[in-house]
Chain A
Amino acid sequence: MSGSRLYPIVVMLLLLTGFVSRLCWAQNTDGSDQQTIPLLVQQVKELQRQTAELQEKVKALEAKNGPVAASSVVAAPATAAPEQVSDRMSAIEAWDKTHGIQWRGFGEVNYKALDQRKPELAAAGFNPGSAGGFYTANTVLLLTSRISDKASVLSEFEFEEEEAQTYSVSLERILLKYDYDDHLKMSFGRYHTGIGYYNTAFHSGAWLQTTADRPLIMEFAHDGGLLPTQAIGVSVTGSVPSGKAGLNYIAEYGTSDTNRPDINGSGLSDDENNGNHVNLGLFLRPDRLPGLQIGGSYYHDRVSNSETAFSPRYGQTIVNGHIVYVAHGMEFLNEGFLIRYTQLHTPVVFDTPAFYSQISRRFGKIRPFFRYQYINGSAHNPIHEDVGLRHGPSFGARYDLNDYIAFKAQLDHTLRRGQPDLNGLHLQLAFTF
């Protein structure tokens, strides 16, 4: 059959298909019909159930008192309905109360290979120096409970893999929260410090992150990160009346007590013997561009390295600036830091600048990402002497298998001052339950 003869048949088939789909749509795809039909079915079922109940009651009454007048039967639904409504309202209230105590879990299974010749820090179950290995890193259980209209409790338990597949349990967060209103929200207990954006946006749930790991500057201190990521004290946050600018504040006062293992594999650690810190931050979430956050924070504490015999006291100041946009499938995270140690009563100052920039875009279930990070710790810095200069790109993709499981593949290239470059492959299955 020639193309010219086929053509009218194809056109007719297309027309027929179009009209059939149009008719089907007319019957099935009207938005209001889609809403109304299930509701009508539900109402019919409800009426059938009520009728059956009434018939049972009538039979019981007839058995007891003889035949019942028709008017009484008709009146029954009018009196029964409010009771049923009340029952359902009670059920909703009960649902709300039981769901006031909630828990959620986050887990991860990792495979990581690094071409390092000299092993560095073994953190979260990863065995450095090996050809590559599997580890579970952090398994997190989050419990939340509302205890009054304004008060609630949040607790986060972390099971972290350590050497030889042993696990330690850590109370990452325990917070008694009191929300007076949107302008004054207070938390008492152990919190993740509000230095910048990442620490309070992702906490320790790998499933929430796009990348397989945190940027090194935002790594938890007990895994070699440079910041005091956790503290016990009070944290206050809220919005400031500022019209469309969407100004918010955060203020924290607490004790960090940071103990940071050296990341160069020396086996040493820095016990910072912190004092009480103050952290103040401001950030804008403009109405005009939902998803945009621009802000900064100022953190100050006094520390010394109690692992060394005669450690002087240092003033620790951490300044952060960040611009973040997360909306419409886009994620653009940019944070810069300056960590300054000032030896008290002397002009000695050590600065560690750092930043990371991460961009990703969601395409259906897949989200390719790119990240560049930079840290420059002085070799003379008594706290960050193990870090040195490290910078380089990471790229990969996250694939959401469903709403609860994500697979991530990440390649890292890290340049180090005075040491060979590092190349890494990191595969991760992250999930929530």
Chain B
Amino acid sequence: MKTKSISVLLLTALAGLVFIPRATAQGEDVAAVVNLDNPASNISQVDLRKIFAGEKRTWDRGLRIKLIVRLPGCHERLVLLKLLGMSESEYKQYWAAQVFRGEADSEPFAAPSVGMQKEAMKVFPGAISLLNAQDVKPGMKIIKVDGRLPGAVGYPLH
């Protein structure tokens, strides 16, 4: 009985060792970045969801929003799916439906690398993307989400 209790304690501790750091790694903040010429400086999480769901298609001054997303498997993609409350499969089906409904011309541009993502941000004036905060480079503009920048307490995208 005593051996069993010790074993359970050890296994619990081991599970803690295995899983707690993973939670920390998954908590890496993801920045919402836009084209340098975009005057936006802050966006609510609700509007960000609407933008990446294709429900909000223009910026306040009428500039067409261009979505730049990462391919499946990236941390930014997981954060995007979390923001939208969808699985990868649901996301694909959702965008196929959006195009079919005429709510979008095409599915969002999926950049295969951070370099392509950065360059796409320069090409499209209305571009918006999600990018690991540590990967943000000069030439990209981070906008606050609900008044907070990545790294701040309560920042919602991670």
Interface of B is mostly: helix
A30 to B134, CA, bound (A): 14
Known contacts A31-B26, A92-B119, A102-B99; decide if A14 and B14 are in contact (CB<8 Å): yes
Taking CB atoms, residues of chain A closer than 8 Å to B124 are: 96
Taking CB atoms, residues of chain A closer than 8 Å to B116 are: 88, 92
CB distance from A27 to the nearest CB of B (A): 12
Q: Mark B101-139, 1 if CB is under 8 A from A, else 0.
A: 110011001000111100110111000000010110000
User: Is A88 a contact of B3 with CB atoms below 8 Å?
Assistant: no
Taking CB atoms, residues of chain B closer than 8 Å to A205 are: 97, 100
Task: Select the stretch in B34-42, B52-60, B143-151 that faces chain A.
Answer: B52-60
User: Is B102 a contact of A177 with CB atoms below 8 Å?
Assistant: yes
Residue from B28, B87, B114 in contact with A31 in the complex, judged by beta carbons closer than 8 Å: B28
CB distance from A203 to the nearest CB of B (A): 6
Across the two chains, which residue of chain A brings its CB closest to B27? Answer: A31
A208 to B90, CA, bound (A): 11
Taking CB atoms, residues of chain B closer than 8 Å to A201 are: 97, 101
CB within 8 Å of A: which B46-104 residues = 46, 49, 53, 55-58, 62, 64, 66, 74-75, 85, 87, 89-90, 92-93, 96-97, 99-102
User: Is A100 a contact of B105 with CB atoms below 8 Å?
Assistant: yes
Taking CB atoms, residues of chain B closer than 8 Å to A92 are: 109, 116, 119-120, 123
User: Is B85 a contact of A144 with CB atoms below 8 Å?
Assistant: no
Known contacts A18-B14, A182-B57; decide if A85 and B119 are in contact (CB<8 Å): yes
Known contacts A95-B109, A150-B64, A187-B102; decide if A30 and B92 are in contact (CB<8 Å): no
Residue A66 is within 8 A (CB to CB) of chain B in the complex: no
Across the two chains, which residue of chain B brings its CB closest to A205? Answer: B100
Residue B18 is within 8 A (CB to CB) of chain A in the complex: yes
Taking CB atoms, residues of chain A closer than 8 Å to B85 are: 290-291, 327-328
Residue from A18, A35, A177, A400 in contact with B18 in the complex, judged by beta carbons closer than 8 Å: A18
Taking CB atoms, residues of chain A closer than 8 Å to B93 are: 208, 403
CB within 8 Å of A: which B1-36 residues = 3-4, 7, 10-11, 14-15, 17-18, 21-22, 25-26, 28
Residue from A32, A88, A146 in contact with B134 in the complex, judged by beta carbons closer than 8 Å: A32
CB within 8 Å of B: which A1-46 residues = 7-8, 11, 14-15, 18-19, 21-22, 25-26, 29-32, 34-35, 39, 42
A22 to B17, CA, bound (A): 8
Across the two chains, which residue of chain B brings its CB closest to A140? Answer: B100
CB within 8 Å of B: which A206-230 residues = 207-208
User: Is A11 a contact of B7 with CB atoms below 8 Å?
Assistant: yes
User: Is A32 a contact of B74 with CB atoms below 8 Å?
Assistant: no
User: Is A144 a contact of B119 with CB atoms below 8 Å?
Assistant: no
User: Is B64 a contact of A30 with CB atoms below 8 Å?
Assistant: no
User: Is B100 a contact of A182 with CB atoms below 8 Å?
Assistant: no
Taking CB atoms, residues of chain B closer than 8 Å to A180 are: 62
Taking CB atoms, residues of chain A closer than 8 Å to B55 are: 285
CB within 8 Å of B: which A147-206 residues = 149-150, 152, 154, 173, 175, 177, 179-182, 187, 200-203, 205
Residue A57 is within 8 A (CB to CB) of chain B in the complex: no
A35 to B101, CA, bound (A): 35
User: Is B58 a contact of A104 with CB atoms below 8 Å?
Assistant: no
Taking CB atoms, residues of chain B closer than 8 Å to A149 are: 64
CB distance from A405 to the nearest CB of B (A): 12
Q: Mark A351-387, 1 if CB is under 8 A from B, else 0.
A: 0000000000010010000000000000000000000
Known contacts A32-B28, A35-B132; decide if A144 and B11 are in contact (CB<8 Å): no
User: Is B132 a contact of A22 with CB atoms below 8 Å?
Assistant: no
A306 to B18, CA, bound (A): 75
User: Is B10 a contact of A15 with CB atoms below 8 Å?
Assistant: yes
Residue A142 is within 8 A (CB to CB) of chain B in the complex: yes
A238 to B22, CA, bound (A): 43
A29 to B132, CA, bound (A): 16
Residue from B7, B46, B97 in contact with A7 in the complex, judged by beta carbons closer than 8 Å: B7
CB distance from B3 to the nearest CB of A (A): 7
User: Is B46 a contact of A287 with CB atoms below 8 Å?
Assistant: yes
Known contacts A11-B7, A25-B18, A39-B114; decide if A146 and B100 are in contact (CB<8 Å): no
User: Is A432 a contact of B75 with CB atoms below 8 Å?
Assistant: no
Q: Which 6 A-B pairs have the closest CB atoms?
A: A18-B14, A11-B7, A181-B58, A31-B75, A287-B46, A31-B25
Beyond the given A11-B10, A89-B123, A403-B89, could you list 6 further A-B residue pairs with CB under 8 A, ordered by the A residue number?
Answer: A31-B75, A42-B113, A85-B119, A102-B105, A208-B97, A329-B87
Chain A to chain B contacts (Cβ below 8 Å), 27 pairs: A11-B7, A21-B18, A26-B21, A31-B26, A88-B119, A89-B122, A92-B119, A100-B105, A102-B106, A106-B100, A142-B100, A144-B102, A144-B105, A146-B105, A150-B64, A175-B102, A177-B102, A179-B58, A180-B62, A203-B100, A205-B97, A207-B96, A244-B46, A291-B85, A329-B90, A365-B89, A403-B92
